[in-house]
Structure 1
Amino acid sequence: MYSRLLVLIFCLFISNLSSAHNHVWIMVDTKTSTLSVMKGMILEAVFKDIAIGRFGASKARMMGDNRTPLGSFKIDRIKEPSRYYRFFGLDFPNREAADLALAENRITKETWQSIIYAIEAGRTPPQNTPLGGHLGIHGLGRADQQVHGLYNWTNGCIALTNTQIDQLSKWLKPGVTVEIW
């Protein structure tokens, strides 16, 4: 994990040198089940034993496939209280996901346009396309903590315990980048 972290930090640092020193961003490593809070190149916190979609993660996520999307997203909404205690929504589907889905004929040009129009207008992308939506970082709510500790169980979200989401929430604001890989 550490070498992957260094490569990602280096790439982000080079691409955004001016704000790299105090820019807060989130890194989700789906292989090690960790969520890291970064401030520029400084590791602020690591949350272990997170849960992702019950069928893993994919660049080609579709509605109902129970996979967590891979890529770079932004937090675009916050819902408190939520069924899952606290919910920090991601801007999925974003342009990268829509472009890939169009190129792979998983969505129509009309669906692609509806996603792009929303993005360009600064709105949450449509959540009911074939790519799905309503994805974010959330707590457990009343979900079974034992199940959370043993399995990936979400429909594509990133789940932490309620205690972890309380600790994490001080960094989660609209506009914060979430890198999922």
Structure 2
Amino acid sequence: MRFGYLFLIIGLSFPFMASASSNQTHSKIDLVIVNKSESSMSVLRDGQVIKTYAIAMGDAPIGHKLTEGDQRTPQGRYILDYKKSDSAFYKSIHISYPNDEDKLRAKALGISPGGMIMIHGQNPRSKMSPEEAQRYNWTNGCIAVTNKEMDELWRMIDEGTPIEIWP
């Protein structure tokens, strides 16, 4: 009789345990960290790295983005403020560059800080495989991942998620 109750309890609780496990791997993240010198991007939840991606950046990845067309990826703390499913590159998530500091710097230098910096997928016109393209810095300052990885990020990132871009 005891075993019957035990199987009943295990049988009733199993769907809840499976559901909790599934939600853990697909739940939203609360911070994105880009390490330009390592060409990597990590997504974090509660201070723990969930996954790290190899990234491609602009042709001139060293240093902070100063002006439109300089091929640099900005550095600093920004917000992932909106998603664009009909991007020129496979999906994109907009980075809130330029922030107030970037705008002040550009104004003092008499230049345009540029904008439209995104995390996005592959270039649909590229003749390289996704894996090969990720070995080169080919964007105009954006952060690129493979389309498969972009699909993962799309599900994990909500608008308003902070992003830190480190040198």
TM > 0.5: yes
The letter of the residue matching 2:97 is F
User: Is the contact made by 1:74 and 1:91 (CA closer than 8 Å) also made in structure 2?
Assistant: yes
Cα–Cα, structure 1 residues 68 and 57, in superposed 2: closer, same or farther, change >3 Å?
farther
Structure 1 Cα separation of the partners of residues 59 and 115 of structure 2: 16
The letter of the residue matching 2:117 is L
Aligned pairs (5 A) from 1:92-111: 92-102=97-107, 105-107=108-110
Matching residue within 66, 69, 75 for 2:74:
69
Q: Deviations over 1:112-163 (max 9, x none)?
A: xxxxxxxxxxxxxxxxxx1111111000041333652331110000000101
User: Is the contact made by 1:53 and 1:152 (CA closer than 8 Å) also made in structure 2?
Assistant: yes
Q: What is the CA distance between 1:78 and its match in structure 2?
A: 1.1
Aligned pairs (5 A) from 1:110-125: none
Larger Rg: 2
Aligned pairs (5 A) from 1:139-158: 139-142=121-124, 143=126, 144=128, 145=130, 148-158=133-143
Aligned pairs (5 A) from 1:2-151: 24-48=30-54, 50-102=55-107, 105-107=108-110, 130-142=112-124, 143=126, 144=128, 145=130, 148-151=133-136
Structure 2-normalised TM-score? 0.74
Cα–Cα, structure 1 residues 54 and 146, in superposed 2: closer, same or farther, change >3 Å?
same
Structure 1: tracts of 5 or more residues without a match: 1-21, 109-129
Cα–Cα, structure 1 residues 179 and 83, in superposed 2: closer, same or farther, change >3 Å?
same
Q: What is the CA distance between 1:60 and its match in structure 2?
A: 4.3
Q: What is the CA distance between 1:97 and its match in structure 2?
A: 1.2
User: Is the contact made by 2:79 and 2:96 (CA closer than 8 Å) also made in structure 1?
Assistant: yes
State the Cα RMSD in Å.
1.9
| Number of residue pairs matched by the alignment | 136
Q: Which residue number corresponds to residue 16 of structure 1?
A: none
Structure 1-normalised TM-score? 0.69
Matching residue within 171, 174, 177 for 2:156:
171
Moved over 4 A (4+): none
SS at match of 2:56: coil
Structure 2 Cα separation of the partners of residues 151 and 141 of structure 1: 12
Q: Deviations over 1:52-102 (max 9, x none)?
A: 111114324210111100111101121102111101011111112123334
SS at match of 1:73: strand
Q: Deviations over 1:2-29 (max 9, x none)?
A: xxxxxxxxxxxxxxxxxxxx97110000
User: Is the contact made by 1:60 and 1:101 (CA closer than 8 Å) also made in structure 2?
Assistant: no
Q: Which residue number corresponds to residue 5 of structure 1?
A: none
Structure 2: tracts of 5 or more residues without a match: 1-27
